[in-house]
């Protein structure tokens, strides 16, 4: 698992990623959490960014929620 937040001084966003049977958190869950946080920050600027499926994943438990807009694959 991996947890990140932004900004450092007054966090507005927190992202937690947990990859079942994914190995070490920094190697697998870290890049995923960073990609999701990057998509959130892009959304704040009015940009839509797709967070792609992780190779080898089942794709059954992906959910992203930006305020009142939710997406689930």
Q: What was the pLDDT predicted at 21? A: 74
Whether the per-residue pLDDT at 36 is higher than 80: the answer is yes
pLDDT band at residue 45 using 50, 70 and 90 as cut-offs: very high
Report which of residues 18 and 60 the model is more confident about: 18
15 neighbors 22 (Cβ within 8 angstroms) = no
What lies within 8 Å, CB to CB, of 51 at 6+ separation is 32, 35, 36, 39, 62, 64
Please tell me whether residue 2 adopts helix, strand or coil conformation: strand
Per-residue pLDDT, averaged over 23-44, amounts to 85
Among positive and negative, which fits the CA dihedral 43, 63, 52, 73? Answer: negative
């Amino acid at each position: 698992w991996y947890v990140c937040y932004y900004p450092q001084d007054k966090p507005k966003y927190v992202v937690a990623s947990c990859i079942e049977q994914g190995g070490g958190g920094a190697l697998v869950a870290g890049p995923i959490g960073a990609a999701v946080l990057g998509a959130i920050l892009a959304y704040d600027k009015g940009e839509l960014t797709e967070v792609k499926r992780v190779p080898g994943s089942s794709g059954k438990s992906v959910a992203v929620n930006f305020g009142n807009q939710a997406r689930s694959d």
